[in-house]
Structure 1
Amino acid sequence: MKRLLLPLLLLTTTVFAQQPVARNPKDLVLQKIKGSKPRNVVFILTDDHRYDFMGFTGKLPWLRTPNMDRLYQDGTWFKNAFVTTALCSPSRASILTGAYSHVHTIVDNVAPEPPENIYFSEYLQKAGYQTGFFGKWHMGNEEDYPRPGFSHWESFKGQGVYYNPELNINGKRVQYGDSAYITDLLTQHALDWMKGRDKSKPFFLYLSHKAVHSPLAPAKRHLGMYKNEPYKVPSTFYQTRSDEYKKLDWPEWVKQQRYSWHGVDFPYHTYQGIESLVQTYCETLMGVDESIGSVMDYLKSEGLDQNTLVIYMGDNGFSFGEHGLIDKRHFYEESAKVPFLVHCPELFQGGKVINKMVQNVDVAPTILSVAGLQPPAGMVGKSFVPLLKGNSTVWRDKIFYEYFWEFDFPMTPTVFGVRSDKFKYIRYYGIWDTNELYDLEKDPDETTNLINKPEYAEIAKKLGAELFDWLEQTKGMQIPLKRINRSPFGDYRHKKML
C-alpha cells in the first residue's frame, strides 16, 4: 500500500505545482508599431448566426438585412471565415486570446477561464484605450464578474434572456421590465457609452449579442414578419433517413443524431418544424441588423464612420437540416463557417469579396495592429489588414479545426479537421466506422465521402499528416480535460427527453 501511495502523492504534488499563477495585467509588455495611429474599433458579435443567412447572399430570397448589406456594399465580406471550434465558449475565448481551444483550454461551455489567459482587450486598455463591453460573455459556467480589459462592462450570467433581462453594470445588478428587449437594450447602452466617452482618447467597443441563440424570441415588432415564408431544405436533408447514407460512407453518428434533439426529427429541443424554426430565427436576427444600423448611424453622425474599424461576425455557424442535423459543433461548412463583415473606408476600398480563409484567431492580432500594437508571440492568428488593402502577402492555405466531446451533449464525437480551398479531412475519436474526406470544389455540399476511395488515399494520408503536425507543433496532442462536477442528466434538455 505504501509503495502505491507514494507515487500517487508525488504525482498529486506535481499536478498542483504545475497549476498556473494568475498574471498581473500591469505586467503586460506593449510593443508599439512605429508611425501608427491608434484607430477606434467596434466589434459586434452574435451567437449562432450562420454565414449565409444575410440578405445579400441570396440564400433566403425573402430575408432582409439592409444594414448587413450596407456593411457588405461599403466594406468587405470575407466569404470563407471560420472558427477553430464551432461552439460558443471556445470560439469566444479564441477571439479574445488569439489562441486555439487546446491552448486557452476553454474547450466547452462549462470549462472555467484559466487565470493565465490574457485577452487582447487588456493590451488595448493598457495602451490607453477606453474599453466597453456590452452583452454576452459566456465563457465557462461563469458569474457576471468584471470582464478583463474593460473599464466599463455590462453583462449577464450565461445565456441570459431576451425579455425582462437583468444586467450587471460595473458590479451593480439592474432589473429591466418585460418591455425591455435584450438586443435593443444592449445597443442603446453601447450608444450611450460612446456618446459619453472621452473624445480625446481612442475607444474599443465590444457589443456581444445574445441573439440569435435559442430559445428564439424576436422583438415584438418583428414577430410574425416571416410567417409562411418557405424554407427549401438542403440537398442532404433526407440522406440519413434510410440506409442510402451507407453508400456515401457517412459516419453512423450522423444518422443517429438526426433522431436526437440535435437532429431534424426533433428540432433543437422545440416542437417547431424546421421551416417554423428558420422563420423565428430570421425574425430574431432582425433586431441584430437594426443594432448594426444604429451603431453605424451614430458613427456617421460623429464623423467616425470613415475611420473606425467595424467588424461583424458570428461566434459559430448553425445547421438547419444539412446532413439531417440541427445545431453546430461538427466540422461541416454550415457549422464552422461564420458571417464576417469589415468596414473602414479610410483603410480600404469597399464593395469587395475576399475568398482567403480567415479565422476567429485572426481577430485579436488584427485589432491590435490597427491600434498600433504588435500582437504578442502567443497569438497564432494574423492581421488580415493586408488582405483588406489588397496588398500582396503570404497567407494561410489551410485551416485547422477541433471539437472536444461534451458530457451534456454526447451526440457529437471529438473532432479534428483540416480544410484547404479544395479538400476537407475530418478525423474522429470515439467512433469506429469512418473518417471523412470531401472535395469541396466538386462537392460543396459535402455529400460524398471520399475517404475509402483508393484514388484519394494519398490525399487523405497527406492531410492526416498535416493535421497531426499541427497538433504536435501547437501542443495539442492531449485533450485538455477540465475538473467539472456535473450530475448525471443535469442538463434540462436530458430531463425533458426523459
Structure 2
Amino acid sequence: MSQPTFYKLFALFIPIWFSFASSAQDVKHKKPNIIFILSDDHTNKAIGVYGNKLAKTPNIDRIANEGALFNNFFVTNSICGPSRAALLTGKYSHVNGFISNDKKFNINQFIFSRSLAESGYQTAWIGKWHLETLPQDAFSYWTILPDQGHYFNPDFITQANDTVNHKGYVTDIITDLSKDWIEKRDKDKPFFLVIGEKATHREWLPALEDLGAYDDVTFPVPSTFYDTYENRKAAAHQDMSISGTMKLGFDLKVNVDYETDWIYSRLDSEQRNAYRAYYGDRISKEFNDRKLTGKKLAEWKFQRYMRDYFSTAKALDRNIGKILNFLDDNGLAENTIVIYGSDQGFYLGEHGWFDKRFIYEESLRTPFMIRYPRVIKAGTVIEQPVLNIDWAPTLLAMADAPASKEIQGKSFFDLLKNDEVSWRDRIYYHYYEYPQPHRVMPHFGIRTTKFKLIRFYGEQDFWELYDLEKDPQELNNIYSEFENSELLIALKKDLAISIKEYKDDLAAEIMSK
C-alpha cells in the first residue's frame, strides 16, 4: 500500500474509531433505567427462589438468579398503603403521615421520584397506587387503579382525571400499558417506572387461563395451622383466621350468584361463564357434596385459598416474564435495573391465618430482588436486614440523584457491590390500624438477629419477647421469664434508641408511662 493511500484510509478510520469510543463511553456512564415491579400481598414463601418447590415463578426467580436476592428484607408497617408511602418518601409512617389505609397521603411532601425527574429522568407509575390521593406532579406520567381496583375489566384514572375502562385481566392490562409507555418515552432520557400490580390481593381472582392451575397440588398444612395462641394476647385477639374469618362465598367463590354478586358484576359473559363453570359447577358442587365440618372444613378452605392465591400469582409471574422479554427484545436489559418486591409479607395458613399486619415474621418479611447487569453479580445473596424505607435512597444513589435529608432510610447500593459493608444490627417497626378490619392490636418493636421485642398498646398494654433462634415460629412469648433481666434492659434501651432515631413521638410517650 502506498503511503498516500495509507494516510487516506487512516484519516477515514480515525473519526469512526473516535465515534465508537465515544459511544462506548456514553454507554459506560449512561444513567440506568429503573423498573420497580411492586406486587400486593405476595409473600416470599410463595416464590420458588425462596425455596417453595410448588410455586411456579420462573420469571420472578430469573430476576434473583441474574441479580441479587435479599433474604432479610423487612417492612416498617405491614399494610398496603403505608408500604407504598414508605417507598415514595423513604420515611416511616408516623413521619410521612400515612399510618393506615384510611388516611390520605400528602402528595406535596418529599417524594423521591421528583428528585429523579430533576436529574433528567422520565418517571411513571402504572397500576395500583392505593394512597387515597392522586400522584399529581410526583410522576411525569401516571395511570392508576382507583382504590384497590378490579381484577377484570378494570377502570384506570388518568392524568386528565378521566376514568378509562380497559377490557381484560388487570395484570395483563398493566403490562400492556407499561410496555406502551416505555415504547413512547423520550429515548434520549433515562426512565423510572413503577409497575403497581394488584395481584395477589384478596379476593384472589385468577386469570381465565389459570383457573385450576394448582388443582393437582396438595399444599402442606403449616405446622402452626392449629396454633392456640397460649401466652399471646394479640394473636388470640385477631380476626384473620382461615377457619373463621375467611368467607366461603366472598373469598372462595362457593355457591356464588354470578349474575348478582358485586364482585363478579364487571365480568363479561365469557369471563362469567368460565368462572361459573369452574367455581360453580365444579368447586361448589365438590363442597356441597362433601358436607365438611370442623378441621376437615378448615383444611378444605386452606387448600382452596392456596390454589386461588398461587393461581393468581401465576399471571403475575407470566407478565413479569413479558416485561423481561420486552427489555431483551428492545436492547434495554443491559442498562435497566429491574426490581421485584411486594408491599409486605402475607400469611399462608401459618398460625391459621391469612392477611398481614403483625410484626411477626411472616408479615414483617417481604420478598425483594434486584437485577443490574453492569453492577450486581448474578447469584448475589444479601443476608443483612434491609427496610422498605431504604428503597428510595438506594434508587437515588443508583441514579446519581440527590437525596433529601428528610429520608430516614439509607442506601444499600454499596451493600449490593460488597456484602462486607457495615450495616444496621436491628430494625424498628410500628403498626397502627385498629380495630378494623382484622382486629390486630397496634404495636411497635424491634427485631435483632436473635430477638424480637414488641410493645402492644391501646385497649391493652403488654409486652412480648421472642428468641428467634430457638423459636423461629414465635410460639413462645418469654417476656415474663426475662422481666427485669439484663437482656430486657438492653433490648428496651435499643428500642428507645430506635424510637428516638426515627422520631416516633407516640411510641416515646407510651414508653414513658
* TM-score of Structure 1 vs Structure 2, range by shorter chain: 0.7 to 0.9
The Cα shift of 1:479 comes to 7.1
Opposite residue 204 of structure 1, the aligned amino acid is F
Give distance in 2, aligned partners of 1:392 and 1:289: 32
Give distance in 2, aligned partners of 1:187 and 1:167: 14
Q: Match for residue 227 of structure 1?
A: 215
Give distance in 2, aligned partners of 1:479 and 1:355: 28
The Cα shift of 1:328 comes to 0.6
Q: Match for residue 291 of structure 2?
A: none
Count of residues in correspondence between the two structures: 430
Deviations 1:430-469 (A, max 9, x none): 2547422112122211122221113893222222222222
Contact 1:89 / 1:106 at 8 angstroms: preserved in 2?
yes
**1:207 equivalenced with 2:189 (yes/no):** no
Deviations 1:358-402 (A, max 9, x none): 111111011111111132111111111111112532211111100
Deviations 1:455-496 (A, max 9, x none): 89322222222222222333212279xxxxxxxxxxxxxxxx
Structure 1 residue runs of 5 or longer lacking an equivalent are 1-34, 481-498
**1:196 equivalenced with 2:187 (yes/no):** no
Scaled by the length of structure 2, the TM-score of the pair is 0.80
Contact 1:255 / 1:324 at 8 angstroms: preserved in 2?
no
Opposite residue 151 of structure 1, the aligned amino acid is S
| Residues 374-453 of structure 1: pairs in structure 2 closer than 5 A | 374-390=402-418, 392-409=420-437, 411-430=439-458, 432=460, 434-453=462-481
- Bigger drift between 430-439 and 282-291 goes to 430-439
Q: Match for residue 243 of structure 2?
A: 265
Give distance in 2, aligned partners of 1:292 and 1:78: 19
**1:216 equivalenced with 2:204 (yes/no):** yes
The Cα shift of 1:204 comes to 0.6
Contact 2:242 / 2:353 at 8 angstroms: preserved in 1?
yes
Residues 1:239 and 1:397: Cα distance change in structure 2 (over 3 Å): same
The Cα shift of 1:321 comes to 2.3
Q: Match for residue 31 of structure 1?
A: none
Scaled by the length of structure 1, the TM-score of the pair is 0.82
Give distance in 2, aligned partners of 1:232 and 1:433: 36
**1:366 equivalenced with 2:368 (yes/no):** no
Deviations 1:53-77 (A, max 9, x none): 1022333x32211101111211111
Which of residues 48, 57, 62 is equivalent to 1:65?
A: 57
**1:108 equivalenced with 2:89 (yes/no):** no
Contact 2:76 / 2:387 at 8 angstroms: preserved in 1?
yes
| Secondary structure in 1 matching 2:338 | strand
Give distance in 2, aligned partners of 1:148 and 1:317: 30
Give distance in 1, aligned partners of 2:367 and 2:437: 25
Q: Match for residue 43 of structure 1?
A: 36
Contact 2:466 / 2:476 at 8 angstroms: preserved in 1?
yes
Contact 2:237 / 2:440 at 8 angstroms: preserved in 1?
no
Opposite residue 232 of structure 2, the aligned amino acid is W
| Residues 149-168 of structure 1: pairs in structure 2 closer than 5 A | 149-168=138-157
Structure 2 residue runs of 5 or longer lacking an equivalent are 1-27, 253-300, 509-513
Contact 2:78 / 2:345 at 8 angstroms: preserved in 1?
yes
Give distance in 2, aligned partners of 1:410 and 1:69: 32
Opposite residue 149 of structure 2, the aligned amino acid is G
| Secondary structure in 1 matching 2:416 | helix
Opposite residue 413 of structure 2, the aligned amino acid is V
Contact 2:70 / 2:381 at 8 angstroms: preserved in 1?
yes
Give distance in 1, aligned partners of 2:223 and 2:505: 36
Residues 1:147 and 1:318: Cα distance change in structure 2 (over 3 Å): farther
Deviations 1:103-155 (A, max 9, x none): 00100001112254221111111222111110111113x4xx34442111111
Residues 1:391 and 1:51: Cα distance change in structure 2 (over 3 Å): closer
Q: Match for residue 137 of structure 1?
A: 129
User: How many percent identity over aligned positions?
Assistant: 39
Q: Match for residue 71 of structure 2?
A: 79
Give distance in 1, aligned partners of 2:307 and 2:507: 38
Give distance in 2, aligned partners of 1:464 and 1:161: 44
The Cα shift of 1:424 comes to 1.0
Residues 1:477 and 1:433: Cα distance change in structure 2 (over 3 Å): closer
Contact 2:444 / 2:507 at 8 angstroms: preserved in 1?
no
**1:303 equivalenced with 2:325 (yes/no):** no
Give distance in 2, aligned partners of 1:432 and 1:50: 29
Q: Match for residue 124 of structure 1?
A: 116
Contact 2:200 / 2:312 at 8 angstroms: preserved in 1?
yes
Q: Match for residue 93 of structure 1?
A: 85
Q: Match for residue 275 of structure 1?
A: 303
Opposite residue 46 of structure 1, the aligned amino acid is S
Residues 1:461 and 1:148: Cα distance change in structure 2 (over 3 Å): farther
The Cα shift of 1:36 comes to 6.7
CA RMSD, 1 decimal: 2.0
Give distance in 1, aligned partners of 2:422 and 2:495: 20
Deviations 1:85-117 (A, max 9, x none): 000111110010000011001000011122542
Which structure has greater helix proportion?
Answer: 2
The Cα shift of 1:234 comes to 2.0
**Structure 1 ranges of 4+ moved more than 6 A:** none
Give distance in 2, aligned partners of 1:83 and 1:363: 11
Contact 2:107 / 2:135 at 8 angstroms: preserved in 1?
no
Residues 1:418 and 1:148: Cα distance change in structure 2 (over 3 Å): farther
The Cα shift of 1:219 comes to 0.8
The Cα shift of 1:231 comes to 1.9
Opposite residue 337 of structure 2, the aligned amino acid is L
Which of residues 250, 274, 284 is equivalent to 2:232?
A: 250
Contact 1:402 / 1:415 at 8 angstroms: preserved in 2?
yes
Opposite residue 303 of structure 2, the aligned amino acid is E
Deviations 1:299-338 (A, max 9, x none): 1122221221111100011112222322111111110111
Deviations 1:210-257 (A, max 9, x none): 1110111111111111014222222222121xxxx43xx222x31232
Residues 1:146 and 1:379: Cα distance change in structure 2 (over 3 Å): closer
Give distance in 2, aligned partners of 1:85 and 1:93: 10
